[in-house]
A and B are shown apart, each in its own frame.
Chain A
């Protein structure tokens, strides 16, 4: 009887050791895999070149649109305080969008996860907050702008787009931060993580372009207001 119990003890010893072997092997391998995933670098040279060209085109369009107004030569009957404010605020936005800090990301040929994370942070702080919220959204909440033509049409459009853009990148930043905790290969993690660098970067650039599209629309409205007025 004692011998059987001791034999069982040996079996349990091997079982416990085997389970621990499996667990540690799993953790070691998944850590190697995770480290490799995080060190992934993607080549974005062509993609960035195309995007930089598009951005420059849109910025030129905005600049052309807002340059139609000059306070000294304006002879229309619209509120010049509203026109001045709009021009300054759109110009402020353009300065942010084409700043070296932001355009620097489009001159990179390779992007890693830290670049994407920093890009997301800068995009949220500079473009979404300082430009869209502080300039464009606040611009449409002033009384002088409210007197300009087609205000009732452009304001809901801007509000809708600004709100959508402001809420659109938070999850990308959270996903990147949560990638530190990746050690179980669940379906959710796979879908969120497997192309984290790639997908997050493309998503942010896409939002960048959408922001510029919105600014183009606002500048088109401004041009129509000035020329029409």
Chain B
């Protein structure tokens, strides 16, 4: 049962990573167009997404079971990425937020802007957690070799 859940969340986190990255990119690009800023100014906000993707790819390439089979970590990844997706969804579609209607941009930038720092904290937290789990994996694999 645990294995099934693990596979489920393991697959889901990749889908959610793509979706949350896409929605964040969309909102931030629209913000930049409105402010007439260059694309480069949103790169720092996107770096944690790319780093997380790189870490996930490393997990796959090095076959790090301690990370990929860690149910708690996979659930946390899904929860974090779902939160980002949900915040992005609300920024675009929740028309009950009056500033969205007042300014008429179609996206509530004020609302999304509040969450950018939390998004970065959560993504960097996942990256740091993943790196610490990697050490454990390396240690166990060495012990098996001995």
Interface on A for B, CB 8 Å cutoff? Answer: 2-3, 6, 9-10, 12-14, 16-21, 23-25, 27-28, 31-32, 35, 38-39, 112-114, 117, 176-177, 179-181, 183
Contacts and interface: CB of A to CB of B under 8 A. Distances in A.
Contacts of B82: 24, 28
B7 interface: no
A177 B132 contact: no
B128 interface: yes
A16 B136 contact: no
Interface stretch (B29-37, B56-64, B86-94): B86-94
A171 to B, nearest CB: 15
B125 A16 contact: yes
B76 A176 contact: no
- Measured as residues with beta carbon below 8 angstroms from the partner, the interface class of chain B is 35 or more
24 contacts: A9-B135, A9-B136, A13-B130, A14-B72, A14-B129, A16-B125, A18-B72, A19-B125, A20-B76, A20-B125, A20-B126, A23-B121, A25-B79, A27-B87, A32-B86, A35-B94, A35-B96, A112-B96, A117-B98, A117-B101, A117-B102, A180-B98, A181-B111, A181-B114
Contacts of B121: 20, 23
Contact of A6 (B75, B90, B136): B136
Interface of B: 72-73, 75-76, 79-80, 82-83, 86-87, 90, 94-102, 108, 110-111, 114-115, 118, 121-122, 125-126, 128-133, 135-136, 139
A100 to B, nearest CB: 21
A12 B135 CA distance: 11
Contacts of A10: 132-133, 135-136
Given A13-B133, A20-B125, A113-B98, A3 B139 contact: yes
Contact of A113 (B83, B96, B111): B96
A27 B80 CA distance: 9
A16 B132 CA distance: 9
Given A12-B132, A24-B80, A35-B90, A183 B98 contact: no
Given A38-B97, A177-B99, A179-B97, A20 B83 contact: no
Question: Which 7 residue pairs of A and B lie closest in terms of their CB atoms, listed nearest first?
Answer: A13-B132, A20-B125, A38-B96, A17-B129, A9-B135, A16-B129, A24-B80
B83 A17 contact: no
A38 B101 contact: no
